[in-house]
Structure 1
Amino acid sequence: MFDDRTSALASTPPASGSGKRSRRMRAILELLTEQGAITLQDLVATLGVSAATARRDLADLEQQGLLARTHGGARMAVPTSEIPVRLREGQAPGVKQRIGRAAAALLPDGPLAVAIGGGTTAASVARSLVFRNGLTIVTNSLTTASEIGARPNLRVVMTGGTIRPHSFELVGVLAENAFAAMNVGAAIVGMDGVSAVGGATTHDETEARTNAAMVRNAQRTIVVADSSKIGRTTLAPVVGMRGVHDLVTDDGADPAELQRITDLGVRVHVVSTRAHETN
């Protein structure tokens, strides 16, 4: 059975500025991802807001290039199933914080080189490491680097690469070569999909190649993903589950899928969604 010893462990904002509006805008993008298009009338009914409020949200998202307005509604500007990182920051923040703490607790004390990828869950791990000494953190995430780069007790190394606007990650040949040139004790990566059959996957093939280069030279690979990612397989494979040493998720994940992952030799660590916040 999977390991539940950790179960007790406990960017840039969108133009809207408010957490409530950010959640609405995420909901709009999720609806468009599922349906491709939506009418203003359906949006008002689904979100329980006025037509004027819905129009302002659509106008804001259109200005950011995330959708295209139509007569009486909106459609996706570019087909995608990936929510931009600036809107993902507020998704399940308490759960991601606990996943980050649990993953950080898996790292041994003392000097260590750690590679940390992009995404909000991986960023939560980085935040849990800010008071550690002797760590060298290699990252391709602009968000993570900006948060921890000023810590005098950490040595932070950034890769080069091309910025992915959805995730603020540096990807491509420069990033891949940087990771290939370093040996790290652990690689910590967030994923869009994690399943026994599909392995660890992302929405973007360039990001997947960069993440694959990161884990290739790591002695230990730790995947962090909230329960909504468990059992999913997305477009681009990064690593099969037999290449993953640890998976840290929450107790909303399908137990049967976690058991299948455990059977492949992965140590599965589950944090509770009901743990009290300690902020």
Structure 2
Amino acid sequence: MRNLADRHQYIIQKIQENGQVSVVELCNELDVSAVTIRKDLKLLEDKQLLYRTHGGASLHNPYIRDKPVNEKAVIQAAEKDLIGKAAAAMIRPNDTIIIASGTTVLALARNIVPQGNLTVITASLPVAMELSSHPDVDILQLGGQLRHSSFSVTGPFAEKLLSEISCSKLFIGVDGIDPEYGLTTTNLMEARLNQQMLRSAQVTVVLADSSKFGKRSFGKICNLHEIERIITDAGISKHMVKALEDAGVTVTIV
């Protein structure tokens, strides 16, 4: 399929079906060079039919801005609650866990029913407040600079404390998940803190509703191979699930 119009029609149909396409896949399926495909994607982007990404293209704008926590809270709220319930089921009696920040991990906190004594280290003020009513939950609130958009802390004080801690699991929310680029957040300082959280936990579990996939933001947290599991909702595409599983990530769909 070497005709320009035919290639463009194929690319548009493929991206409408899957939400995104990769240069490698299109090269194999259309039997043309990567240079040709990149030129095709540039022309289609100029026509505002797609957005180019690292290694491919997306139907939706992959770049995201920071949003206030009250604005994020209403986005896919039902899905976040289901994700939070599934994550809470992973917590074991007398566990020690890290909970990062964001509205999806707050849904986790709301669904926690402690078994025995639970220790929670968190950067999120809303998470700490949510869990403060449980007498069997010991909370270590990280200190640092407060982010007003998320009511969470970042900075060297929190990073230093985490460097002296080892926990069984990290539950983390993200702003974007790109199969090739990895996990990102809108704030560089938060990304640095999240990186230290990963080093302090034996297992990393990402809580992300389906709107986060195929997106990327300013601060990179890690690559996909550095996490063990993602819990998400049924809105995720089969194409994305395969890409995640090919990277060695266990995907739980609620």
**After TM superposition, is the score higher than 0.5?**
yes
Q: Residue 190 of structure 1 corresponds to which residue in structure 2?
A: 173
Q: Which amino acid aligns with 2:165?
A: M
The separation in 2 between residues aligned to 1:145 and 1:217, in whole angstroms, is 19
What is the distance in 2 between the residues matched to 1:269 and 1:106?
A: 12
1:199 corresponding residue in structure 2:
182
State how far apart, in whole Å, the 2-side matches of 1:172 and 1:223 are.
21
Map of 2:56 onto structure 1: none
**How far apart are 1:257 and its partner, in Å?**
1.4
Q: Could you give the per-residue CA deviations for residues 68-119 of structure 1, whole angstroms, max 9, x where no partner exists? A: xxxxxxxxxxxx8121002222222111000001112223x32111000110
Which of these residues, 89, 93, 96, is aligned with residue 113 of structure 1?
96
Return 5+ residue gaps in structure 2 as ranges.
1-63
Residue 84 (str. 1) matches residue 84 (str. 2): no
1: CA distance between counterparts of 2:165 and 2:178?
28
Residue 230 of structure 1 deviates from its aligned partner by 1.0
- The reply on whether 1:262 has 2:245 as its aligned counterpart is yes
2:155 maps to a residue whose letter is: G
Cα distance in 1 for residues equivalent to 2:115 and 2:175: 28
Classify the secondary structure of the residue corresponding to 1:114.
strand
Matches within 5 A, 1:9-88: 81-88=65-72
1:154 counterpart residue number: 137
Q: Deviations over 1:32-59 (max 9, x none)?
A: xxxxxxxxxxxxxxxxxxxxxxxxxxxx
Indicate the RMSD between aligned Cα atoms, in angstroms. 1.2
Q: CA deviation at 1:149?
A: 1.5
Q: Structure 1 regions of 5+ residues with no counterpart?
A: 1-79, 272-279
Distance in 1 between residues matched to 2:116 and 2:198, nearest whole Å: 23
SS of residue paired to 1:160: coil
- SS of the aligned residue for 2:243 comes to helix
Counterparts of 1:235 and 1:269 in 2: how far apart (Å)? 26
- Distance of 2:72 and 2:215 partners within structure 1: 18
Partner of 1:222: 205
Q: Which has the higher contact order (CA 8 A, sep 6+)?
A: 1
1-side partners of 2:86 and 2:125: how far apart?
Answer: 23
Q: TM-score, normalised by structure 2?
A: 0.73
Distance 1:106 1:241 in 2: 20
Rounded to whole Å, the distance in 2 between the matches of 1:84 and 1:214 is 23
Q: Is the 8 A contact 1:130 1:148 kept in 2?
A: no
Match 1:145 to one of 114, 128, 150: 128
- 1:195 is displaced (CA, Å) by 2.0
Shift of residue 130, structure 1, vs aligned partner: 3.6
SS of aligned partner of 1:219: strand
Partner letter of residue 201 of structure 2? A
Kindly indicate whether the alpha-carbon contact (under 8 Å) linking 1:132 and 1:154 is maintained by their aligned counterparts in 2: no
Q: Which residue of 2 aligns with 1:168?
A: 151
Deviation at 1:126, TM superposition (A): 1.4
Match of 1:76 in 2: none
Q: How far has the Cα of 1:134 moved from its partner?
A: 2.0
Aligned residue type for 1:166: S
Q: Matched residue of 2:231: which SS?
A: strand
* Matched residue type, 2:97: V
CA distance in 2, matches of 1:159, 1:260: 34
1:99 aligns with 2:86: no
